[in-house]
Amino acid sequence: MYIVLYNIIIKPNQEDNFIEAWKGLTTLIYKYEGSLGSRLHKKDPLNFFAYAQWPDKNTFDTTGANLPEEANHFRDTMKASCEKFEVLDKFEMIEDLLKQEQSE
C-alpha cells in the first residue's frame, strides 16, 4: 500500500466549503481512479491533516485521467478555500495494525 500525507490550511470561514469539496473529490478519486480512500483530520479550525491510501505507487502516479468533469468543480472549491495544500510526504506501508472493525 502507498500512503500520501497532506497538510492543509483553510481560509477563515471556508471550513464547510473545503470539507464538502474534499469529500466530493475523494469519492470520485475512489470510484474512478482506484484509490483506497482518504481520511481528513482537524487540528484546529484552520489546520487540517489528511492522508490518502493507494494500492501502490504506480496507481497514485497515474491518477487523474479517468475523473469526470465534476471533479474540476471540487478541485476549484478546494483551491478557493485553502491558504495552503501541500504534500508532506509519501510512503510505502510496511505493516497495518489498525483495527478494521469497530466493536459494539
pLDDT tens readout for residues 2-32: 999 999 999 999 999 999 999 999 999 999 9
Q: What is the DSSP letter of 11?
A: P
β-pair partners for 20: none
pLDDT at 57 over 80: yes
Place of cell 474534499: 22
| Average pLDDT over every residue of 57-79 | 94
Q: What is the pLDDT of residue 96?
A: 87
| Average pLDDT over every residue of 74-93 | 96
Amino acid, res. 74: F
- CA 9 to the chain's CA centroid: 14
pLDDT at 89 over 90: yes
Give φ, ψ of 26 to 5 degrees.
-60, -40
> Could you give the domains of the chain?
2-92 (3.30.70.100)
In which element (H, E) is residue 2 found?
strand 2-10
Give φ, ψ of 35 to 5 degrees.
-65, 155
Q: What is the pLDDT of residue 43?
A: 95
Q: What is the pLDDT of residue 104?
A: 59
At residue 99 the predicted structure's pLDDT band, cuts being 50, 70 and 90, is confident
